Amino acid sequence: MKTRVFLITLLALVWSATYAQTLKKITMEDLFKSRSFVQRQLPGLQSMKDGNHYTLMEEGTKIVKYSFQSGQKVATLFDLKEVTDAPLQRFMSYELSDDETKILLMTAMEPIYRHSFMAEYYVWNSVTRELLPLSEKGKQQLATFSPDGERVAFVRQNNLFIKNLKFGTETQVTSDGEKNRIINGAPDWVYEEEFGFSKAFAWSPDSRFLAYIRFDESAVREFTMTLFNSTEGNPGKVEYPRLETFKYPRAGEDNSRVTVRIYDTKSRANILADTGKEPDIYLPRVRWTPDAAHLVVMRLNRRQNQLDLLLTNPYTGDTRPLFTEKNEKFVDEDFLDKFTFLDNGQFVVTSERNGYAHLYLHDKEGFEIRQLTSGAYDVTAFYGYDAVRKLFYYQAAAESPLRREVYFVSADGKKRGTLSPQPGTNRADFSRNFNYYIHTHTSSVSPALITLHDWKGKQIRVLENNEALKTKLAEYAIPAREFFSFTTSEGIGLNGWMIRPSGFDASRKYPVVMTQYSGPNSQQVTDSWSVGWNEYLAQEGFAVVCVDPRGTGARGEDFRKVTYMQLGRYESDDMVEAARYLASLPWVDSRRIAIWGWSYGGFMTALTMAKGGDLFRAGIAVAPVTNWRFYDNIYTERYMRKPEENPQGYDDNSPVTHAGKIKGRLLLVHGSADDNVHVQNSMTFAEALVQAGVPFDMAVYTDKNHGIRGGNTTMHLYAKMEEFLKQQLLF
């Protein structure tokens, strides 16, 4: 019997080894050219007005209508291939008018900054069967239907316009727009980047008024970048490099002076909203009440620890306070988008007033009715309110910071439950009447499963199971991701994941590459699916490890905001602790530990290497902030206050200050046209390393922005990083 068991076991091992040899290895081309491991989603998903149907964009040429009840295709609302002499070949996004008889199509996108862009817009009229350009006077930004579908508002050359679709006329709402001076209806660089929005105007629900934010950038200092490939597309011609200049307010410096105007489409008058006497404020959002009687202007003080909601009369511009949120440190920017009006005029806000992010219901006058959610967890999204069943729907990290679930709760709190039975990362997209929802689930071992459900949670149909991706994955030897936690010497519990090298042998010693981002309220350690460069490195012989330090999200306000006034201090302490923990593992070669990161993660790489000394053999800092005095004021001051208020916090945690302490080999990477984290960060740090006598490697990517991409750039960058890690760790 023992001989038989031995033979069976031996045959199984031989078969397993033979099978493993037949599996493919991940290639760089898989990751960055063919993008072989990208999950399929539902592109352009929108619920239709009746709440019983939804639309999807297919092939960049069609908009298809589906039934929530069955999940089946009902009709094709628009097919570009059926339009005679169509002026475009594909479109990138679409918007339905409120009566759903018109469709706004966007194509020929031309980026401005990271999020904003100009484009060509076309309007399809399903009644007249005409496809016409929105305007022929130049590309537009942010084209948006009025609620009655009669007009479209858009921005062009920093001015706001309204196109009357019935008569084909354009009305110019503003005329003072000018590059690097005045912007109407679109945010300036720093608002776009740090308040997370690109459209700074809003139609009133009755379509009479168009509220917009006006940015006066006159006092904001300018930043100038050199662009070297000024003759791209004409290589035979040699020109001087050109300069790109834009407004960029650094920490402690002047911002745009911002005001809110309300344009009356009947009288054509622009009314100035009264936002108070203090000019040094932020106005990051405007929202209309459901009855169109008032505009709500969000006003945030410069320190960002008090947010006021101002109820504004659109006829006079007079305002009165509706609600105020205060915080000892700062009001989290998530408040801005989670704030939601209900149809009855009540509203829901997210507050950290009890130490965790929770939902609160307020009446029309701003008084709190009740706290809707509670517990030692954070609410991470608010989906809306079902007025028929009197249920609020939201997403939370209630089971674990690593996971997300979809929940509902009644207004009185007596009825509550979950719509996400599977552990992992769950989210929902509800129909307008909340009779149905589309549920997306993913986990570390499962790509997106997208299913259609009725309001009770009953599954109607599988919309996307990513079976083609699963079949492809089965052809590859992809190493698994494991979750772990450990306690630091300060008694702080930290969560992480690791990917052991392919063919892992516990009797061997392996090099480790630590990957991280570590920025405020971010998370890298989540139970969600991805296959990418981390798995590629593991198959090349590295153990890859990620740890979320203090300051990251889904663990309550104390954990999230402990880094206030000292960005980098606690995060880098925790990264050093993580490296020491890894070095204690029997299969880790403590002489071969590297750390890398991008942007905030690059900042953390440089600072952690300085603190960790001989603990780190190598590191890669891509597009790092190296001194918070170089970075923009909205982000930096939110966490650090102004430099004159906190000089020690700025300097004590700057990699430039600690450059001479770095012992391991550093690869410093930056794009020369990075408008976000300016290349000055890396140049200043490089000079500090030179003067300290610290050897390092450096790569600057010509005319590339913060994402360092375009053409063969991504392949080149990751090949360089792979080569560097192998040179430093695989000896």
Q: What is the DSSP string of 529-541?
A: ---SHHHHHHHTT
Confidence of residue 17 (pLDDT cuts 50, 70, 90): very low
Coil, helix or strand at residue 622: strand
Question: Mind listing the pLDDT tens digit for each residue in 213-263?
Answer: 999 999 999 999 999 986 555 666 778 899 999 999 999 999 999 999 999
SS (H, E, C) 641-668: CCCCCCHHHHHHCCCCCCHHHCCCEEEE
Whether the Cβ atoms of residue 535 and residue 332 lie closer than 8 Å to each other: no
Average pLDDT in the 3-15 region?
40
**What's the CATH class of domain 24-36+473-625+651-729?**
alpha beta
Instruction: Let me know if 454 is a catalytic residue.
Output: no
Q: At residue 146, what is the residue type? A: S
- The 10s digit of each residue's pLDDT in 546-558 is 999 999 999 999 9
CB 103 within 8 A of CB 96: yes
Q: What is the mean pLDDT of the chain?
A: 95
Work out the pLDDT band at 114, boundaries 50, 70, 90. confident
Q: Which pLDDT score is estimated for 619?
A: 98
Q: What pLDDT score was predicted for residue 229?
A: 84
Catalytic residue chosen out of the listed positions 146, 599, 654, 672: 599
Q: Per-residue DSSP letters for 487-499?
A: E-TTS-EEEEEEE
* Mean pLDDT value of segment 457-478: 96
Q: What is the DSSP letter of 450?
A: E
Mean pLDDT of 593-604: 98
Average pLDDT over residues 570-583: 98
Instruction: Convert the pLDDT of each residue in 343-380 to its tens digit.
Output: 999 999 999 999 999 999 999 999 999 999 999 999 99
pLDDT in tens, 490-531: 999 999 999 999 999 999 999 999 999 999 999 999 999 999
User: Residue 276, Cα to own-chain centre: how many angstroms?
Assistant: 32
Whether 18 has a pLDDT exceeding 50, the answer reads no
Q: How far is CA 541 from the centre of its chain?
A: 31
pLDDT (tens digit per residue) in 627-637: 999 999 999 99
The pLDDT of 460-482, averaged and rounded, is 95
Examine the residue annotation and report whether 658 is marked as an active-site residue of this protein. Answer: no
Q: Residue 16 — very low, low, confident or very high, per pLDDT cuts 50/70/90?
A: very low
* pLDDT value at residue 219: 97
Is the model's pLDDT at 185 over the cut of 80?
Answer: yes
Percent of the chain with pLDDT over 70: 96
Instruction: State what percent of residues in the chain have pLDDT above 90.
Output: 94
Q: Which residues of 648-673 are buried (b: 16+ CB within 10 A; e: fewer)?
A: ebbeebbbbbbbeebebbbbbbbbbb
| Catalytic status, residue 599 | yes
Q: How far apart are CA 36 and CA 18, in angstroms?
A: 24
Residue of 332, 548, 674, 675 marked active site: 674
pLDDT of residue 232: 54
Q: State the Cα–Cα distance between residues 289 and 341, nearest whole angstrom.
A: 7
Q: Work out the average pLDDT over 49-64.
A: 96
Question: Within 10 Å of residue 445's Cβ, how many Cβ atoms?
Answer: 10
What does the block give as tokens for 214?
């006006």
- Nearest 10 degrees: CA dihedral of 105, 110, 113, 115? 20
Residue 647 pLDDT exceeds 70: yes
Mean pLDDT along residues 698-709: 97
What is the per-residue pLDDT across 396-438, written as a single tens digit (0 to 9) for each? 999 999 999 999 999 999 999 999 989 999 999 999 999 999 9
437 backbone dihedrals φ, ψ, rounded to 5°: -150, 150
In tens, the pLDDT along 126-146 reads 999 999 999 999 999 999 999
DSSP sequence for 34-60: S-TTPPP--TT-EE-TTSSEEEEEETT
Distance, CA of 460 to CA of 70 (rounded, Å)? 7
CB neighbourhood size of 731 (10 A): 9
Average pLDDT over residues 81-108: 95
Q: Could you tell me the pLDDT band of residue 20, with boundaries at 50, 70 and 90? A: low
pLDDT (0 to 100) of residue 230:
61
Please check the confidence at residue 151 and state whether its pLDDT lies above 90: yes
Between residues 102 and 17, the one the model is more confident about: 102
